[in-house]
Structure 1
Amino acid sequence: KHLVSFADCDFSSTLTNVSFFDFVGGVQLLQGEDTRTVLPVILIGICVSGAVGNLLVLLIFLRDFRNGKGSEVKALLASLASTDLVILLLCAPVRAVTYYKQTWTLGSFVCSTTDWFQHSCVVAKTLVLAVTTRAKHTLVPSATGPLYCPTWMHGALAFIWIVSMMFPIPQMLFASLVPHGRDTICVSEMPVCASVFMRLFYKIYPTATFVVPVIFTLAYYTKALHTAVNHAPSPQHQSKVTLVLLCLSGALGLMLLPEWGTFTWIRLGYNKPPVGLIIFAQVLLYACSSLSPVILMTMYDDVRQGLVTIWFSATCRGSKHLHSNKCPQTEENGAEVGANAVPNAVSKEMEKTFPDVEHFWTGRRNTHVEESQDPVPWEREEKISGVKAGQ
């Protein structure tokens, strides 16, 4: 009872030249203080947690490439994490502000581009995961440089983003501001003259950018995982990476299905879906971007090891700040304790060993001794007698 339905906003019946009506940038004209506060809080929580996770993943991959441990799969997963980070930092806050204000307050430019930009990022995510089926899991050669990336990957990413930005162009063309009392709302209104072509387009668009790539990716990694486990000579590492990519593709397909379903449902002119379902689909879209780094950190061995390394580096650096000389030698860091203990013990023993002998040799160094002052004259006499006997 706290949500306004599409029937309550009878814009489509008053605008005879419009074939369908939809809100842009989040459902507006919501009623109820609980909806106004709960939804922004949920979205902000998803944004913060997801942004931190994706930043850590990017930091780990950058560190691997600098150390010569990068691969083509890691480069594409870094691109995926960057796209998720953009969605969480630029798209989700727009929905949070819209749900809080209940009207549109971000201007006409954001109204025209917000859905187009979000769809571009979502399509790019799906296509990047599909391209990982072409990438190799092996490490790049160190001779090619720490940030080596094949030429085909640059071309593939450029092609993906061009396609991803071109397909959602109607989202930008049909978006506009509409006055509603003293306020304004951001809506998408498709004219009747374009309805025939756009109905065909909205059947091709989700199929080409979501359904086909997801089915292809899931099928490929399912087959690859079966082959790696049963037929590969050393299947352990390859099967783990394949399982990670399979889980990423499955999570993306399941969590984006409600968003694509409601999107197509509205554009094809069927009965309007419930507003609660639309909001749930949008929340799942942002939760998908926050779930990807969790999957990588828990299932991908290289990312998990990199996370542990970053954690120990951060704690050690913090300990050095507290203790200016060195990191505290704890039980968990036994190797460091042993490595430091040996040279310290040796140096202490050297300081305690025979100080009088050291003084004796220091005093005799570079010292000229006269024959009359020779402390051991019998040695010289023995040498002289030995020479005479030889003669």
Structure 2
Amino acid sequence: MRAAAWSHTDKMDIDRPANVSFFDFVGGVQLLQGEDTRTVMPVLLIGICISGALCNLLVLLIFIRDFRDGRGSEVKALLASLASTDLVILLLCAPVRAVTYYRQTWTLGNFACRTTDWFQHSCIVAKTLILAATTKAKHNLIPRTAASGPLYNPTWIHGALAFIWIVSMMFPIPQLLFASLLPRGSDFVCVSEMPACASDFMSLFYKIYPTVTFVAPVIFTIAYYTKTLYTAVNHAPSPRHQSKVVLVLLCLSGALGLMLLPEWGTFTWIRLGYNKPPVGLLMFAQFLLYACSSLSPVILMIMYDDVRQGLVAIWFIATCRGRKRAPAMKSPQTEGNGAEVGANAVGNDVSQMKEAKFPDVEHFWTGRRNTHVEDEQDPVPWEKEEKML
């Protein structure tokens, strides 16, 4: 991709105010020229948004159906929260970047400029912490009995999700405070300006922030599920089922860690005051961020047995409900299928034949039964006459 006219590194360094120690774009790279950048990135982002949103909606429908039918669990509750977070990222955050790449300047107003990076980082941090919270959830999906107790305990799940979202919205507050809308000719750009007086504190903060919200939770989650998978395969009483659930969560954690690493790396690298990475790397990091939200439901659909069975059930309901409810051919007096109608008709005919009386035939056989034929009387006299002749 060609980033002509204004280079992301040189031009913004020249425009940086004297009392600002940090200066960078917010809401996507702006001031890029070239039709390839203007068309390819929005098309890619819109495609990811549509496909990822549909997949996450399907996963949410499956989990809602399981909870309604009494097959809920703590893992499913957290995975449903993860799918909801991915859905919010794809529907609210990715379109902002698509519009920014297409317009090449900021056209969404001051409120969106101040909140877009803060809101996106809140969702990213929440995703990482939700996956870390699954390590405490129950993974064994055994049938619910009175002795075993419920598999789904909403008290600690609700408390954990509330704590996760509070922490997730507090850590990115500097993105909210330092974002501002600046005029540039007849257009505007959305940038982040960090005052020089806050540079020392923010330098320490930008070392702690990614470590606490990304590096430590991802390493802990991957290490936990790697150990749990090894234990489930070698020592668990039902290793096949347990290892499948753990493998799904391990793949989700690994995919999240790998696909968000470029975004977190460029974010921290820029804010620690080092030379800014190439524009292509920044755009690639943003692309992987949204692709991660589209890949998570695909992993669940392929590897998670309950989600896969739910997909089959939803497909069966969508395709066969009309046939099941189609009215059957029935006679005015009976209901059922054609075989029942035919059987009823034959039965009615037989009963009518049994009930029917034939008086002439009955009188004939009655008369014949009571008739006494004498030995001397010939019942067929014409045969004798033929013999005599």
Scaled by the length of structure 2, what TM-score is found? 0.84
User: For residues 97 and 17 of structure 2, what CA distance do their matches in structure 1 show?
Assistant: 26
**1:228–1:147 Cα change, 3 Å:** closer
Paired residue for 1:19?
A: 21
Write the distance in 1 (CA, Å) between the matches of 2:323 and 2:284: 44
- Give the superposition deviation at 1:317: 3.2
1:284 alignment counterpart: 288
Which residue in 2 is equivalent to 1:58?
60
Q: In 2, are the aligned partners of 1:75 and 1:149 still within 8 Å (CA)? A: no
**Aligned residue number for residue 266 of structure 1:** 270
Q: Structure 1 residue 358: deviation in Å?
A: 4.5
2:260 paired residue number? 256
- Distance across 1 between alignment mates of 2:230 and 2:155: 30
Decide which of 108, 121, 124 is 1:122's aligned counterpart: 124
Contact 2:110 2:181 in 1 (8 A): yes
Partner of 1:386: none
2:166 to 156, 162, 168: 162
C-alpha contact (below 8 Å) 1:71/1:140 kept by paired residues: no
Displacement after TM superposition at 1:320 (Å): 6.3
- The answer on whether the counterparts of 2:138 and 2:151 sit within 8 Å (CA) in structure 1 is no
String of CA shifts for 1:76-125, please: whole Å, max 9, x gaps.
00000000000000000000000000000000000000000000000000
Distance 1:357 1:192, change over 3 A: same
Q: How far apart, in 1, do the equivalents of 2:67 and 2:356 lie?
A: 54
Unaligned runs of 5+ in 2: 329-335, 358-365, 367-389
Structure 2 residue aligned with 1:225: 229
Question: Paired residue for 2:349?
Answer: 355
- Deviation track 1:250-293 (CA, whole Å, cap 9, x = no partner) reads 00000000000000000000111111100000000000000001
Q: Aligned partners of 2:171 and 2:177: how far apart in 1?
A: 12
Moved more, 143-152 or 29-38: 143-152
Taking a change above 3 Å as real, the CA distance of residues 9 and 147 of structure 1, as seen in their structure-2 partners, is: farther
**Corresponding residue of 2:69:** 67
Distance 2:352 2:261 in 1: 82
Is the 8 Å Cα contact of residues 178 and 186 (structure 1) preserved in structure 2?
yes
How far apart are 1:194 and its partner, in Å? 0.1
- Taking only the aligned residue pairs, the percentage that are identical comes to 75
Q: Please, what is the CA RMSD of the aligned residues?
A: 2.6
Aligned to 1:372: none
CA distance in 2: counterparts of 1:318 and 1:11, whole angstroms:
64
Distance across 1 between alignment mates of 2:152 and 2:252? 24
What is the aligned partner in structure 1 of residue 374 from structure 2?
Answer: none
Checking the alignment, whether the CA contact within 8 Å between 2:74 and 2:151 is kept in structure 1 is no
- Structure 1 CA distance, aligned partners of 2:150 and 2:356? 52
Question: SS in structure 2 opposite 1:190?
Answer: strand
Identify unmatched segments of 5+ residues in structure 1.
Answer: 327-341, 364-375, 377-391
Tell me the residue number matched to 2:305.
301
Does the residue aligned with 2:137 lie in a helix, a strand or coil? coil
Counterpart position of 1:313: 317
Query: Given the superposition, is the C-alpha separation of residues 140 and 277 from structure 1 closer, same or farther in structure 2, using an over 3 Å criterion?
Result: farther
Query: What's the offset of the Cα at 1:355?
Result: 2.2
* Larger CA Rg, structure 1 vs 2: 2
Aligned residue for 1:174?
178
Cα offset for 1:140?
7.4
What's 2:95 paired with?
A: 93
Deviation, 1:61, is 0.4
Question: What SS does the aligned partner of 1:103 have?
Answer: coil
SS for the counterpart of 2:105 is coil
